[in-house]
């Protein structure tokens, strides 16, 4: 790590003089898990570091500012994965405090009577608009939160004309540190190893859900997400400010967004350039001629297609969303971010009336089912969500997720017919004449194949929740005119009926979780060749767990003769500490835990030095580099350090398999590593690194693929297929049809048509899964491929 510069705090001096940076915790919010002696001084994953503000200092700093000002409100709005507080600061002129509820209620009128709201805006020019600024969602990108702290102090305490003008027109909501765990540990991820800026379609993490709640509460007009570090993308254009390049997600009312977002980006650039002479000791900044704005300066590569990123998600709530990427990891980078945000605030202040009128227009289009820049038929009139009576958990999860995202859902109290098809009472309906129709559709549509539309993609290109979570969402172009009841929240409770034996179908994540819960309680469970589960236990023994599961469990006539007893298994997963800025095993780990397995992370060094004794299953779902020598500082704590350790790791894994241990590889890199380990002689074929999407798969339907069938669904990310499989049992193939690739971006995908995508070695318990069965909580429907592989004898 570089030595701290003596001038590193110069930028802070002018803005942060009134309150000392003292160690300690906020007087109000309390927590016990942040040990200041364990906080990292810098990130091993950054080539440069500076004396950024430590997380343990932030609580006391905010509390001290709050004592000085009647403009500021400091709250703790939940906790992170590791239990750290999530600070939210709201700043407005004193006259607005106490009226936040009224202001929020007024904004809610935008969803009920947008025309009336627009009229009110026209007649009340002194209204205030909320602007939300999100701090350092990636823990190693420290500059965002440091800039936010300076902005908080300025707007809480200063009285210059620019400050007063901004506060007269805006309410500022600061999500101060969206990823406290990452800031404490100086890693990109939260405590669960999840990249929070990939989590906004599934919202698997508490930090993401807190941000979603803030967005819903305020429906900010502008949303700024602070990141780093981008420099030299174009000559002398330092840092990055969106809007993006194509492809743009077609579920946006993009004409209304881009009308203001592009000009706002240039306003941020102008303010940075206006303050150019104040950057210290940096040729990079002195020679700066502007900022890199992807829409202006690039063709593709920065896109707002997937709704997984924070500002892209906020855009569905009407916000003019921007990702701001500061150029450097130092106080100059903090100044760049600070100046960009001031530029955005001044622009929003000058144009608030026209900007909010167009924001309301987005909701108006939804309510009126009027989408002038979309082809007729792109938006269905409604989605119909039938419910499986025996296992309603998948649909109930989906409905609650929609509700949690401000999407209106209704339920039919009686049976009804649409498009000639009858639906039973209890069926859910998402009518698309609603304010946030774009968000509803991006969550529920099947997606599209954009392979030929764009040269390259950044991250995922398909995410259909019905397909990847496994529930039905049937689109109709017919207005569904039936009696319905508004749904607020689904509270489910399972039940047991009959005297046993009881059948637990292999139907959902909750079903497998129930099985693992019962196994851990000592209940005897058997599994048949189709993957279904059975128990002879008395109803009162399993009742509590079944109620918690939400499933309706009934007696069955008999247990199939091929049903084999199960035991509670100890599962190890190889830990990726952050190679290539991802903890690529974390999604699979999350999937296994949701399935109810007891999972232990083991670093490559731990496997090399201690072996796998005591474990029944070893899962590899990470970079192939994990079984090679890694000497970089960022990987030293978990990576193999010399050839001797590599040899020991290989020997221990092979010994584990030779002694009957179960080995499962998930994805392309893990499959390639399996070849290197000598556990397969298959040829591992891999598609492009930016290729991903939803595919048709033909599953065998028993054993390893129990619960799946022909013409079923899979998901790929860096697609993989296997050839030279003579020593394997092939249990799943990509469908042998030209349309096997359903949605996403995958060049030359025809090479994989009909090829093996899931195999098991004949002479050892080694399973290769080319699909991404446990991808970031996206692939709920595929999680059971993992449990099948674990349980299969």
Convert the pLDDT of each residue in 566-582 to its tens digit: 999 999 999 988 776 77
pLDDT bracket for residue 458 (50, 70, 90): confident
Average pLDDT over residues 608-625: 95
In the predicted structure, residue 604 carries a pLDDT above the cut 90: yes
Query: Nearest CA to 664 among 596, 592, 613?
Result: 592
Q: Environment class of residue 729 by beta-carbon count within 10 Å: exposed (0-12), middle (13-18) or buried (19+)?
A: middle
Query: Nearest CA to 624 among 662, 655, 579, 592?
Result: 579
Q: Is the pTM of this model over 0.85?
A: yes
- Give the mean pLDDT of the chain: 92
CA–CA distance, 190 with 180 (Å, rounded to integer): 7
- pLDDT on residue 680: 97
Asked if 648 contacts 689 with a C-beta cutoff of 8 angstroms, the reply is: no
Query: Nearest CA to 335 among 50, 762, 595?
Result: 50
Query: Quick check: helix, strand or coil at residue 20?
Result: coil
Angle at CA of residue 187, ends 186 and 191, nearest 5°: 105
Angle at CA of residue 554, ends 550 and 559, nearest 5°: 125
Average pLDDT over residues 224-230: 95
Q: How far is CA 577 from CA 14, 536, 585, 725, in A?
A: 38, 43, 9, 32
Question: Tens of pLDDT along 266-312?
Answer: 999 999 999 999 999 889 999 999 999 999 999 887 889 999 999 99
Torsion on CA atoms 715, 639, 571, 199, rounded to nearest 10 = -40
Question: Tens of pLDDT along 491-511?
Answer: 889 999 999 899 999 999 999
In the predicted structure, residue 790 carries a pLDDT above the cut 90: yes
| Omega prior to 247 cis, within 30 of 0 | yes
Over the range 209-234, which residues count as b (16 or more CB within 10 Å of their CB) and which as e?
ebbbebbebbbbbbbbbbbbbbbebe
Share of the chain above pLDDT 90, in %: 84
CA–CA distance, 227 with 133 (Å, rounded to integer): 11
**Beta strands, E only, 688-781:** 692-699, 712-717, 720-723, 728-734, 741-745, 756-761, 766-769
Q: Could you give the residue ranges of the DSSP H alpha helices within 460-536?
A: 465-469, 509-520
Q: How many helices (DSSP H) and strands (DSSP E) are in the chain? A: 23, 35
* Spacing of C-alpha 453 from chain mean position: 25
Average pLDDT over residues 3-26: 31
Tell which phi-psi region holds residue 470, choosing left (phi > 0), alpha (psi between -120 and 50) or beta.
Answer: left
- pLDDT on residue 107: 80
CA–CA distance, 171 with 617 (Å, rounded to integer): 53
In the predicted structure, residue 4 carries a pLDDT above the cut 50: no
- pLDDT on residue 35: 57
pLDDT bracket for residue 100 (50, 70, 90): confident
Average pLDDT over residues 529-551: 96
In the predicted structure, residue 457 carries a pLDDT above the cut 90: no
- pLDDT on residue 34: 52
pLDDT bracket for residue 589 (50, 70, 90): very high
Share of the chain above pLDDT 70, in %: 95
Average pLDDT over residues 541-570: 95
Give 525's contacts (C-beta < 8 A, 6+ positions apart).
504, 515, 518, 519, 533, 534, 535, 565, 566
Question: Tens of pLDDT along 109-149?
Answer: 889 899 999 998 898 888 899 999 999 999 999 999 999 99
**The residue count for the chain:** 793
Query: What is the DSSP code (8-state) at residue 423?
Result: E
Q: What is the 3-state secondary structure (H, E, C) of 128-189?
A: CEEEEEECCCCCCCCHHHHHHHHHHHHHHHCCCHHHHHHHHHEEEEEECCCCHHHHHHCCCC
CA–CA distance, 23 with 59 (Å, rounded to integer): 9
Angle at CA of residue 673, ends 646 and 567, nearest 5°: 95
Give 176's contacts (C-beta < 8 A, 6+ positions apart).
58, 62, 87, 88, 89, 135, 145, 148, 149, 152
pLDDT bracket for residue 317 (50, 70, 90): very high
């Amino acid at each position: 790590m570089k030595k701290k510069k003596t001038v590193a705090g110069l930028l802070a001096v002018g803005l942060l003089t009134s309150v000392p940076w003292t160690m300690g915790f906020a007087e109000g919010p309390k927590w016990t898990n942040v040990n200041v002696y364990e906080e990292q001084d810098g990130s091993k994953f950054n080539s440069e570091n500076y004396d950024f503000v430590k997380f343990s200092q932030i609580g006391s700093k905010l509390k001290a500012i709050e004592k000085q000002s009647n403009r500021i409100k400091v709250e703790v709005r939940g906790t992170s994965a590791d239990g750290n507080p999530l600070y939210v600061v709201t700043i407005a002129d004193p006259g607005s405090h106490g009226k936040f509820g009224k202001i929020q209620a007024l904004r809610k009128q935008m969803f009920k009577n947008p025309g009336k709201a627009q009229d009110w805006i026209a007649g009340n020019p002194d209204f205030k608009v909320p602007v939300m600024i999100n701090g350092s969602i990636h823990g190693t990108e420290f500059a965002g939160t440091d800039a936010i702290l300076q902005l908080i102090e300025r707007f809480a305490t200063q009285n210059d004309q620019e400050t007063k003008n901004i506060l007269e027109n805006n309410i500022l909501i600061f999500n101060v540190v969206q990823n406290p765990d990452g800031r404490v540990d100086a890693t990109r991820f939260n405590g669960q190893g999840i990249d929070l800026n990939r989590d906004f379609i599934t919202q698997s993490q508490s930090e993401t859900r807190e941000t979603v709640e803030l967005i819903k509460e305020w429906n900010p007009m502008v949303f700024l997400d602070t990141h780093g570090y981008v420099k030299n993308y174009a000559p002398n254009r330092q840092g990055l400010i969106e809007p993006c390049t194509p492809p743009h997600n077609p579920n946006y009312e993009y004409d209304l967004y881009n009308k203001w977002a592009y000009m706002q980006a240039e306003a941020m650039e102008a303010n940075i350039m206006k303050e150019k002479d104040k950057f210290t000791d940096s040729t990079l900044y002195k020679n700066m001629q502007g900022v890199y704005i992807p829409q202006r300066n690039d063709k593709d590569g920065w896109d707002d297609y997937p709704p997984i990123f924070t500002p892209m998600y906020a855009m569905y709530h009407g916000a003019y969303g921007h990702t701001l990427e500061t150029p450097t990891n130092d106080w100059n980078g903090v100044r760049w971010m600070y100046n960009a945000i001031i530029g955005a605030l001044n622009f929003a202040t000058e144009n608030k009336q026209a900007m909010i009128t167009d924001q309301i227009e987005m909701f108006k289009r939804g309510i009126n089912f009027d989408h002038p820049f979309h082809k007729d038929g792109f938006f269905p009139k409604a989605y119909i969500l039938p419910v499986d009576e025996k296992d309603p958990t998948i649909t109930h999860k989906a409905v609650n997720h929609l509700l949690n995202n401000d999407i209106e859902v209704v339920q039919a109290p009686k049976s009804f017919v649409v498009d000639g098809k009858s639906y039973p009472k209890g069926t859910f309906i998402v009518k698309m004449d609603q304010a946030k129709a774009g968000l509803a559709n991006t969550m529920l549509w099947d997606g599209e194949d954009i392979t030929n539309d764009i040269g390259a993609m950044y991250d995922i290109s398909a995410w259909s929740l019905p397909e990847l979570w496994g529930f039905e969402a049937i689109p109709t172009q017919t207005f569904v005119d039936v009696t319905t009841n508004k749904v607020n929240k689904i509270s489910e409770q399972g039940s047991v009926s009959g005297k046993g034996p009881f059948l637990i179908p292999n139907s959902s994540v909750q079903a497998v979780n129930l099985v693992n819960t019962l196994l851990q309680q000592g209940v005897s469970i058997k599994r048949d060749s189709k993957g279904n589960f059975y128990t002879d236990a008395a109803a009162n023994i399993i009742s509590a767990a079944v109620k918690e599961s939400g499933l309706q469990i009934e007696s069955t006539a008999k247990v199939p003769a091929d049903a084999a007893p199960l035991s509670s298994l100890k599962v190890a997963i190889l830990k990726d500490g952050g190679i290539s800025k991802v903890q690529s095993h974390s999604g699979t780990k999350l999937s296994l835990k949701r399935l109810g397995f007891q999972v232990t992370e083991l670093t490559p060094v731990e496997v090399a030095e201690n072996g796998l004794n005591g474990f029944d299953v070893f899962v590899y779902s990470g970079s192939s580099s994990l079984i090679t020598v890694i000497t970089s500082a960022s990987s030293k704590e978990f990576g193999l350090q010399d050839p001797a350790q590599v040899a020991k790791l290989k020997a221990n894994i092979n010994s584990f398999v030779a002694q009957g241990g179960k080995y499962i590889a998930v994805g392309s890199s893990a499959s390639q590593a399996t070849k290197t380990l000598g556990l397969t002689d298959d040829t591992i074929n891999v598609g492009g690194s930016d290729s991903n999407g939803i595919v048709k798969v033909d599953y065998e339907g028993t054993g390893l693929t129990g619960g799946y069938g022909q013409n079923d669904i899979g998901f790929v990310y860096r697609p993989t297929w296997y050839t030279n499989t003579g020593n394997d049992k092939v249990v799943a193939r990509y469908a042998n049809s030209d349309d096997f690739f359903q949605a996403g971006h995958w060049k030359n995908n025809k090479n994989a048509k009909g090829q093996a995508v899931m195999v098991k070695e004949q002479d050892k318990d080694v399973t290769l899964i080319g699909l991404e069965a446990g991808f970031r909580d996206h692939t709920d429907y595929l999680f059971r491929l993992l449990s099948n592989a674990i349980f299969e004898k």
